[in-house]
Chain A
Amino acid sequence: MNYIEHIGKYFIMLKEVFKKPQRARVFREALFKEIEELGIKSLGIIAFISFFIGGVIALQTALNLESPFIPKSLIGFAAKRSVILEFAPTFCSIILAGKVGSYITSSIGTMRVTEQIDALEIMGINSLNYLVLPKILATIFFYPFLVILGMFLGIFGGWVAGVLSGLFSGADFIIGVQTDFNPFLITYALIKTVVFAFLIATVPSYQGYYVKGGSLEVGKASTQSVVWTTVTIVIANYFLTQMLLT
């Protein structure tokens, strides 16, 4: 199957997904379950990685600023910009594409190969709507919070790294963080996050839903889903940056 066919099939899938849920209480239960599975269970990894990457960004910036004419506060400023513009929305989304994407593909793919999706269809349930829509809503609503958390912890990690290493002072770092604060950058980061969240929910769902074969194919589909979700995130990142910042 060529790429055009996959893209067409993906949009046909979305058409089925965006239908009114058949039963509100079942949908609500599924939504809360997905928020827990896809969102709350990702809090730890996002917090951990954000903190340390923030620290690394600050240390590397500090180590590359050797001129005495450049103020130390620039380290805080650069770390803040890097974390808010790229690290938190894009890097975190790529991490989530790996963690959550493979989970979505393997869970839906297993349902496919063990006939659980057939069972839903035979019951008269729109399986795409039932399985995928709660995932989309859960990621779209929850990932902005994860990314904001990533921003805070990334910047905090930078401050801690400076204080512990002695390369710059905490006060200089905070001055840099407060310098030239542009709220639109947060909006830009959150717009990107929502688009990436949509891709993280739908691309792996597509890979899992249309898998054919057995457990080996489900495994292959999980790998494919991480690759394609990452590719689409990177492409979307480029176009969103061009549209929103230039």
Chain B
Amino acid sequence: MATEVGPTPVKTPASGGTPIHHGPKGVGEDNKILSQGKWASWLLAPTIIALAVVIVYPIISAIVMSFQKDAGLDPATGLFTAGGPAGIQNYVNWIAQQCGTADGGTVACPPGTLGAQFWTATQTTFIFTIITVTLETILGFWMAMIMARSFKGRSLVRAAVLVPWAIPTAVTAQLWLFIFDFQGIANKLFNASILWTGSEWPAKWAVIIADTWKTTPFMALLILAGLQMIPAEVYEAAKVDGASAWQRFRMITLPLVKPALMVAILFRTLDALRMFDLPYILTGGANNTTTLSILVINQIRQGFNSAAALSTITFIIIFLVAFIFVRFLGANVVEQSGATGKGKK
């Protein structure tokens, strides 16, 4: 019952849809694959075991924990109780925003408590994800198009985009906190007097701008790598045929760069959904900038088991988004990174 463990959802569904098709082969070939398989399992074993210890085990124990009651003082007897099985109560509590009461029942969580923040945190997480990934994709695409051209100083630009990426997020957060200070440079430059971290939307935009600054370069580099895979002759041919710049972009660049672009967007989306460092340091989660990750962290010290339920919910949300990307939007990560492995030997 309580120890019932769901299927460990760590496997990426992408692998399901792409079985390896071996053409007709001789017996020798089959033997070779068999012996290589043995070798491979020895070589892979350390990595698989290590990942099982550091990822699979915590995940399973988080799921087990999430079906347990939080230990605490029993308000009726004043004695310490160890918890015990809770069924799906922890999940129900988060989703319905209910808090436990002294007599064992539940009431709607009072505003301001962690329990009352689930849906706003979910909303905030998605707002951050949608806006930052959209901005980063557009800006990143533009930067990549520029960096793909040949001009003097191109290597300087390519080096410069690595600077925001190389700065640790914690430092980035403190830096933008200072930039967005009431007396800071942002207000000075735009001749504004905005209390950036003082109310909801300025605080949200502060996080969004800082995140966009920090991660657009990564996006741009991924897209640039995709652009460079397109042979120049394709463009030449289109030019000869009289295609306009916009047509070339829409009919050649976009479709050919799409696989790389989708993977870049997938990576960034999954990364944005677990956003923690920036809002945690920049705004402390105040003014509706609490993301799901921040909510989990705040909950840990109030009760492991409901924190485990929330982190499992977060994980499921991220997993579903990844699934949708891979299944319906054609972001085939494994195929992309495995493509060249095929055919060689």
Q: Do A and B bind each other?
A: no
